[in-house]
């Protein structure tokens, strides 16, 4: 068994979330775009991406449009990252984290 430890300091919860979801994308071969990772991260921290004010804030922060958010939501629902719960578009609870805390990930690649 090979053990490798990496330690990376991240300046805020949004950047930490982006790193986390980028790693999930790579490990699971999801091929998420940078903007999709940003939307996932933002939604994870905000709780949902349903309300107009939350979408507007995302658009201003990331220079995006409402139409592109809708397209990304559709794709991310298909792959199971976003779910609709009680009328709100949210992150699948399986991959929600508290990005205000330190995170340690363990990734195991097993040999058949």
Q: What is the pLDDT of residues 22-47, one digit of tens each?
A: 999 999 999 999 999 999 999 999 99
How is residue 21 written in tokens? 């979801």
Q: What would the 3-class secondary structure string for 33-94 be?
A: CHHHHHHHHHHHHHCCCCCHHHHHHHHHHHCCCHHHHHHHHHHHHHCCCEEEECCEEEECHH
**The pLDDT of residue 10:** 86
pLDDT tens-digit profile of 66-104? 999 999 999 999 999 999 999 999 999 999 999 999 888
Q: What is the CATH topology of the domain spanning 13-95?
A: Arc Repressor Mutant, subunit A (1.10.10)
**The pLDDT of residue 26:** 95
Q: How does DSSP classify residue 104?
A: -
How is residue 43 written in tokens? 């939604």
105 pLDDT tier (thresholds 50, 70, 90) = confident
Radius of gyration of the chain (CA): 15
Instruction: Using a cut of 0.75, tell me whether the model's pTM lies above it.
Output: yes
């Amino acid at each position: 068994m090979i053990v490798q430890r990496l330690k990376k300091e991240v300046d805020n919860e949004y950047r930490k979330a982006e790193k986390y979801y980028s790693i999930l994308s790579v490990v699971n071969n999801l091929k998420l775009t940078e903007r999709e990772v940003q939307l996932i991260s933002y939604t994870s921290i905000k709780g949902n991406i349903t309300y107009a004010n939350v979408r507007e804030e995302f658009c201003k922060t990331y220079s995006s449009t409402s139409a592109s958010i809708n397209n990304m939501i559709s794709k991310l629902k298909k792959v199971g990252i976003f779910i609709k719960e009680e009328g709100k578009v949210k992150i699948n609870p399986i991959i929600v984290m508290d990005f205000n805390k330190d995170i340690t990930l363990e990734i195991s690649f097993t040999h058949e």
